[in-house]
Structure formats: structure tokens, C-alpha cells
Amino acid sequence: MSTVDIVSRPAKIHSERASTALSLGLVTTYLSLIVALPIAALVFESTNGGARAFWDVVTSPEAVAALKLTLWTSIAVALLNAVLGTITAWVLVRDDFRGKSLVNAIIDLPFALPTIVAGLTLLALYGPQSPLEVAGHSVNVAFTSTSIVLAMLFVTLPFVVRTVQPVLLELDEEMEQAAKSLGASGWQTFRRIVFPNVLPGILSGVALAFAKAVGEFGSLVIITGNLPYKTQVSSVFIFSRIESGDRAGAAAVAVVLLAISFGLLLTIGAIRHYATRHDR
């Protein structure tokens, strides 16, 4: 070993520590500037007038109506996703038909499509100019809670499918064959073997879909018509409060949505922790 090497070694370790610290510093600074500081400003603004003012805004009839509507439509959407998403994932993994890979690719379309476009397309098919007819009446769900559910279903479509699909792919078919050879019916095999295995996937997909549904805005702007007490969900409520200059009102309801988001992220983390308990 040359003397140069011996001399340079401590300097090198020193510079590596510095570069690690530098990259960590950049990551945390970026995250603070973009995410943490705005969130802090939001929480600060909502509590500016004291807890009493915060509570008064959050429990005002219009805000409560919006939050109730948001929650029940999101729960409906989460449940529909749990059933239809799981069926879709099962069909994509276990079934085989022409065009399956195309169907598989299309699942991700809601990730890639702007939400405002999603709302506009749903309005074209299910709105006042709908070409569809049911029992002699032309379909029109615009400005109703049905349109909220439809729009939320559109934007949350991939979540359950994409969390259940990999689990089903990895699931050993031998277990199911063993259950069948021991006399279990198709339904029993699903309930006892498949379902317990895919349940964590379904739950974390449902939680993600629920979070997305609660916060959804773009696809709802056009199709729901923003009618207070009728079709105004919380995100639209916040937007209309910002437009009318009521910052404290907007911030208070926004903090409620923020708390729901954090709660759901913690839940998803806990589900993942539970689902990977055998790998640890």
C-alpha cells in the first residue's frame, strides 16, 4: 500500500460521511419545504381562532352535511371496490380469454387519466345528454349522489385489483387443489383457503380506495353540480369556501380530511405489518 492511500483513507471516510449527511439534508429539506411546511400552515390557520371557532365551523350544518355525504359515498365505493375489485383480480389471474392482457392494461387507466376528464366522460354517458334509456326514460344521474359514487368508482378502480392481483398470483394453487380433493366445494375452497390469504390485500386496497374517494375533487366538480346539502362533498365544500374568501372555514374542514388521511395511512401500515408477519 502506497503512502498516498494511507493518507487519503481518513479523508475519504470523512467525505463519504459528509455526502451522506448532505443527501439526507437535501431529502428532509425538500420534504419540509414541499409537504411539511404547507401542512403546518394549514393546521395553524385552522386553530388560529381557538378550539371553539374550529369546532363551530366543523359542526356547522353545511360542513356536517358535506362530511356525512363524503363518508357514506366513500364507504359505499370502498365496499363495491372490495367485491368488484376482487372479482376482477380473480378473473385476471385465474381466467383465460382473448384480450385478457388488454383488459389487464386498461385497469391502470384511471391512474393515468386526469380526473376532470373522468368526470366529463361519465357526464357524457350518464348525464342529461345520455344516449342510454332504461324503461323508456333516458338515464340522467347528473347532480345526484349516484353520480358521486360513479365518479369515485372510476378513480378508485385500480386500487383493490392491483393489491389483490399479486397475492393471487403468488398463492399456491396446490393448496386449493388439496382442499378440492378432500371434498371441499368451490365456495368452501374460496372461503377457507383463498379469502384468508387475499384479505390483507383487499383491506389495504380498500383503505387506499377509501382515502382516494374521501379526497376526490376533479371528477366531482362537473358531474355533481356542487349543490350544498345535496351533492356537495367535503373537498368541494373546501373549494367553495376558498373561493368565497372564508379561509378559516376551509382550513377547519381541510384539517378533518387531513386527519382522516393520516389515520388511513396508519391503518394501511398496520395491515402491511400484519400481512408480512411471517416474513419477518
Partner 1 sequence: MTGSRSRRYGLRLVAILYLAAILLGPLALVFFRTFEHGFGAAWDALSTAETVNAFKLTLIITAIAVPLNTIFGIACAIAIVRRRFPGKGIVNAFVDLPLALSPVVVGLALFLLYGRDGWFGGWLLDHGVQVLFSLPAMVIATIFVSLPFVAREVVPTLREIGDEQEQAARTLGANGWQTFWRITLPAIRWAVIYGVILTTARCLGEYGAVAVVSGRLQGETETATLRVEERYESFDLAGAYAISIVLALIAVLVLVGMTAIRPKEEAA
Question: What minimum distance in Å lies between the beta carbon of 274 and partner 1?
Answer: 17
CB closer to partner 1, 64 vs 125: 125
Applying CB under 8 A, among 11, 51, 112, 182 the residue interacting with partner 1 is 112
Distance CA 13, CA 231 (A): 61
Query: Per CB under 8 A, which of residues 204..243 are in contact with partner 1?
Result: 208, 211-212, 214-218, 221-222, 234-236, 238-239, 242
Distance CA 145, CA 223 (A): 10
Report H helices in 95-217.
100-106, 109-112, 115-126, 145-170, 173-181, 186-189, 195-215
The one-character DSSP state at 87 is H
What nine digits make up the cell of 144?
A: 345526484
Q: Applying CB under 8 A, does 79 fall inside the site for partner 1?
A: no
Site for partner 1 (CB under 8 A): how many residues? 84
Query: Per CB under 8 A, which of residues 184..203 are in contact with partner 1?
Result: 186
Question: What minimum distance in Å lies between the beta carbon of 254 and partner 1?
Answer: 4
Query: Per CB under 8 A, which of residues 151..180 are in contact with partner 1?
Result: 153-154, 157
Q: State whether the Cα torsion 89-91-97-103 is positive or negative.
A: negative
Applying CB under 8 A, among 14, 24, 227, 230 the residue interacting with partner 1 is 24
What nine digits make up the cell of 30?
A: 425538500
Distance CA 124, CA 16 (A): 58
Q: Applying CB under 8 A, does 109 fall inside the site for partner 1?
A: yes
Per-residue contact string for residues 241-260; x = within reach of partner 1 by CB under 8 A: -x----x--xx--x--xx--
DSSP string covering 88-127: HHHHHHH---TTHHHHHHHTTHHHHS-HHHHHHHHHHHHS
CB closer to partner 1, 65 vs 84: 84
Q: Applying CB under 8 A, does 273 fall inside the site for partner 1?
A: no
Applying CB under 8 A, among 54, 63, 82, 115 the residue interacting with partner 1 is 115
Distance CA 240, CA 233 (A): 11
